[in-house]
Amino acid sequence: PVKATTGAPRTPAPRKVDCEEGGAGLYTVPSQGGKVTVRYGSRGVCLISAVPSRGFKTSTSQTSDSTLTVTFTSADHRSVVTATIDPSAKASVRESSF
């Protein structure tokens, strides 16, 4: 017989992105929805802060160590800031109104 386990499901510990060594350093990226500050390291991008403008909400996602996305959303506008080190350190901002 299989023994049932009780309690909370096991979740992996949050990954620690290595963005301390090398890389392009600290940058702030402005958008209509807010400001994002990131640190570009030689092996990853780390979020330092995401400060929404008045009326905007913030969400973040990081699918890999090398790419970070911050989305600011209001009732009629969305700003998407994507920071990456692949193939080189850069940030892009996509603005859309609806």
Number of domains within the chain: 1
pLDDT band at 13 (very low <50, low <70, confident <90, very high): very low
For residue 37, is it within any domain?
yes
* Domain encompassing residue 92: 25-97
Q: Within a domain: residue 1?
A: no
Residue 5 in this model has a pLDDT that exceeds 90: no
Mean pLDDT of the chain: 88
Is it the case that residue 10 has pLDDT exceeding 90? no
Structure tokens at 85: 């080190």
Look at residue 46 and tell me if it is in a domain: yes
In a domain, 72, yes or no: yes
Q: Which of 47, 40, 48 is nearest to 19 (CA)?
A: 40
Assess if residue 7 is contained within a domain: no
- 20 domain-assigned: no
14 falls within a domain? no
Q: Answer whether residue 85 shows pLDDT above 90.
A: yes
Quote the pTM value.
0.82
Please indicate, yes or no, if residue 45 is contained in any of the structural domains: yes
